[in-house]
Homo-oligomer: A and B are copies of this chain.
Amino acid sequence: MYYPEPISRLMESYMKLPGIGEKTASRLAFYTVNMREEDVTDFAKNLVSVKRDLKYCSICGNITESDPCSICSDKNRDQSVILVVEQAKDVIALEKMQEYSGLYHVLHGVLSPVEGTGPEDINMASLLKRLQNDEVKEVIIATNANVEGEATATYLSRLIKPAEIKVSRLAHGLSVGSDIEYADEVTLLKAVEGRTEM
């Protein structure tokens, strides 16, 4: 062992985070030794706190401190639209937009035959249950634009449509500010297919 024991143990913890290998973990661990004592104890407390103080909203599956979450319990939001996302962090991204005022539903995953993830492995049953409420008029599916995301969107839409609820999908096309030159073919095709009249 070249590293002092406390360093190598902290390195192992850092390496459990995504995208952090041995070199980065070593750099972070040595950096931690020189951090202010207060910052390090806060860091430790904050780690424990996210596990202890956060839970999943029993209605939408979002990460929250109180159940139901602040969005589900906000009666000023449009109760007739549910936007379906893969992860809790997608809710944050959409909330930052400050334009959407409906509700959310977090699937915590996507259907993936390759990884053996079926409809019962993700938070899908509770979505169908929410739709039995007559108030819901539209479901917007905002799964990611990849194979699993598309498959999940198609699967959901086939399940929901018979209930005469409108099902929509986020538009695919060019990112705002992007160059056509650098866009991939599939994105370009989607942008042409989904063109809008001026």
Contacts and interface: CB of A to CB of B under 8 A. Distances in A.
A7 interface: yes
Given A16-B35, A35-B16, A10 B49 contact: yes
Given A2-B96, A4-B64, A6-B50, A43 B13 contact: yes
Nearest to A108: B34
Contacts of A41: 47-48, 51
A155 interface: no
B49 A31 contact: no
A167 interface: no
Contacts of A43: 13, 16, 44, 47
Nearest to A47: B44
A9 B49 contact: yes
A190 interface: no
Interface stretch (A75-83, A86-94, A137-145, A173-181): A86-94
Contacts of A6: 46, 49-50, 53-54, 65
B31 A65 contact: no
Given A7-B54, A13-B39, A33 B92 contact: no
A175 B33 CA distance: 30
A95 to B, nearest CB: 5
A18 B27 contact: yes
A37 B10 CA distance: 16
B30 A88 contact: yes
Contacts of A51: 32-33, 35, 37, 40-41
A9 B13 CA distance: 19
A32 B46 CA distance: 10
Contact of A44 (B5, B7, B29, B48): B48
